[in-house]
Chains A and B, each alone.
Chain A
């Protein structure tokens, strides 16, 4: 903000006042429109940041918006004034107005002033770029590899040796106990984009390229986002859910995820497991600790620990799970998982088995 004050000194006092006024108005308007609304109704509002990268952008955007609003008001007033004041009157004498071909002083003024504004904007922007993009990864950072697939997300917790899908769990990172999360972004097929507006700006996920981003959420909660780079038919339904948990909750979650799948010996479950392992399911899905080790689809080892199915498209209830297995394209058109065409009994057994994967 110091740079902006520097600019104000270069202008006349009245300008500074207008600028300050606009700044207040804009900030007020922004907070009225966005920030003060209940966050629950606007879960992807970029003006409600809870993580350092998003926060940096938020403050920069307020500054940029104020400067631009200031320029807008000045030019808009000039335009309206010109149109009102210099309109041809009804009693016009028909004579041409004095012809003016230019003015070096004026033209110089409106060349130099914008240059100054541009320099200030550039410097503030460059500072934020440096802060966010060149952030050092601390030794204790949680490292996760994100792999974009058509049309779901794979999350590899490399330090803990397990893989999960669609729902990302990360610890809260407070100033006293910083525990940021650093994400490495890879793609298995085509371009995707990882964007959770309240946590960080988007980063593209590009095949044959390794990208990076990071978040350090300050507050516990569920943060939503979605794929931001067009990737094909079901692009609109490639949603992102980030669960920010307390340290204890997160560690408990980690512990559960690290275990292999439970083996429930009940008869219905055994039949379901047999159905799962003897059909096409295992070509694409992994259930750790069983013969299922497919890699094309999401890891199902702890399916029941997730709240949604189909990359965030529907809540994970037994009824929805049935519908999903029976015909995924009906719920998520363009999804790569084909309808399984199972008999009603097979379906019941399969769901019973999947229900045990906590």
Chain B
């Protein structure tokens, strides 16, 4: 086993006198440029912020459980949904997904590290400091007395609510800086991922032989440049407005509020695909292994991903159907938004076809993938519904939309992530996660998820707008909100089980061995956890499933590809 890949567990098993001083261990992690350690830090950092974002969500749900509640004030409520959205997108979903990519991509392409290890560490710390800046607004936003004022304009920060006239104090500036700083980290990560995948592949791994996870992360990394940069540019403009007296979004001086909306969603919509493509990547690895079959239609899976990447940059204005665009403009974005359903549909069918005729092993990682397929199917279909502008005139900005994107982000991305946790945990720690706890986690989370988000569709159809602090009785919304709030606590219980499982399995889980799932990609050919430089001898591959070739010399893959 590698000397310092499991510092805590190893340290605890040592007699006290032989343990490394904790300061030394901490120092090792802070100065590390190893892609695996940085990957683990990304994930732990994201989980930490997930707790913060989750508490914010819970507080909001308690406030909304009954009509005319006074659990929190509207000022606090508005801060809660702003922070919840910003946190979950920028400091939970992205870091955790980046962490997995960081850990897995070099292993899967048979490399010893990322292309730029120091840039990698820099990117992580920028992201980390971004999140701290955002949360510092709670204490620093109001100035001296520490009374606290996080930003309260929603995570889209529509102008002119962010102008000095409506957003006094510094909370807006903390928000802007947080996203700018973490944006630098994100672009750095993108540069590194693309360079790693293009330049660091082991002998024999042509582009057409890369595992799908690597391909999908290549697409995601490439998308980051054109996704994050518009946001960075818009944030710079906002800073120019707030600090230098500029007029980009100053409606009093002829500036247009709609310009911010466009800029924000040029970032905002591709961002959804930046998050979902890594989730697709997890599925594309886990589903084949647990169905015991090669991925169905590898070339079209790659083509569909690239297609999604491109189309995703032409759909942003479907967030703006209600700003009274000309009808031909709306029709254009309806067409584009519907078009993206085609490559997405191809993916779902290909995963189904991969399962078809296989021998499906419903271990926890696969359970989460099946959950993903079910929920992402619904999320995709409500997306198709919302892509139709007229439907969106009614349901845009309603709880139907809230339900839709939580189906994507929680029902889709988070389920895939949980699958990935159970699947790669043995590789990272050398120990298996507990299956019984895993099943409890899965089923409780499924139930909690559906209790929380299914009723929101109905509340939306009954006319409940999002971002409201409270509501009057008599709209038929109360019962659905009550169920949603109840569901949150079921979800929270499931998450607690998951966290307990992580810690418990890390300390006492069964030994995993190098290849517990009998899988086929390169990361399973090295030890668990992998040594600091991953591979003693750089491997050479002939097909997309090098370990299959090794295990089945009589019928290797490269004969067919």
Contacts and interface: CB of A to CB of B under 8 A. Distances in A.
A–B interface present (Cβ within 8 A): yes
Interface of A: 33-34, 37, 41-47, 53-54, 56-57, 60-61, 64-65, 68, 71-72, 75-76, 78-79, 82-83, 86-88, 92, 96-103, 106-107, 110-111, 114-115, 118, 121-122, 124-126, 128-130, 132-134, 185, 189-191, 193, 195, 197, 200-204, 206-209, 211-213, 224-236, 239, 333-334
B89 interface: no
Nearest to A109: B349
B353 A106 contact: yes
B25 interface: no
A285 to B, nearest CB: 22
- Interface of chain A, main secondary structure: mixed
A133 B389 CA distance: 11
Given A129-B327, A209-B258, A100 B293 contact: yes
The 5 closest A-B pairs by CB, nearest first: A201-B393, A44-B463, A236-B468, A102-B297, A208-B251
A210 to B, nearest CB: 9
Contacts of A193: 322, 397, 465
Contacts of A128: 388, 390
Nearest to A206: B257
Contacts of B458: 33
A42 B384 contact: no
B461 A230 contact: no
A91 B339 CA distance: 45
Contacts of B405: none
Interface in B1-22: none
Given A88-B360, A101-B294, A107-B300, A202 B394 contact: yes
Nearest to B153: A230
A296 B450 CA distance: 45
B257 A97 contact: no
A122 B357 contact: no
Contact of A86 (B160, B254, B255, B357): B357
29 contacts: A33-B458, A34-B462, A46-B463, A57-B394, A61-B390, A64-B388, A65-B385, A72-B377, A75-B377, A76-B377, A82-B356, A99-B294, A101-B296, A101-B561, A102-B299, A114-B346, A133-B327, A185-B324, A190-B158, A204-B324, A209-B324, A228-B396, A228-B397, A228-B398, A230-B153, A233-B74, A235-B74, A235-B468, A236-B467
Nearest to A113: B345
Interface-centre pick from A121, A133, A231 (highest chain B CB count, 10 A): A133
Contact of B257 (A82, A110, A207, A334): A207
B370 A232 contact: no
Nearest to B383: A68
Contacts of A64: 384-385, 388, 391
Nearest to B330: A129
Contacts of B472: 239
Nearest to A98: B357
A235 B257 contact: no
Interface string B344-369: 01101110110111111110000000
Nearest to B356: A82
Interface-centre pick from B291, B327, B393, B470 (highest chain A CB count, 10 A): B393
Contacts of A227: 465
Interface-centre pick from B349, B370, B377 (highest chain A CB count, 10 A): B349
Contacts of B392: 201
Contacts of A126: 331, 334
A226 B394 CA distance: 12
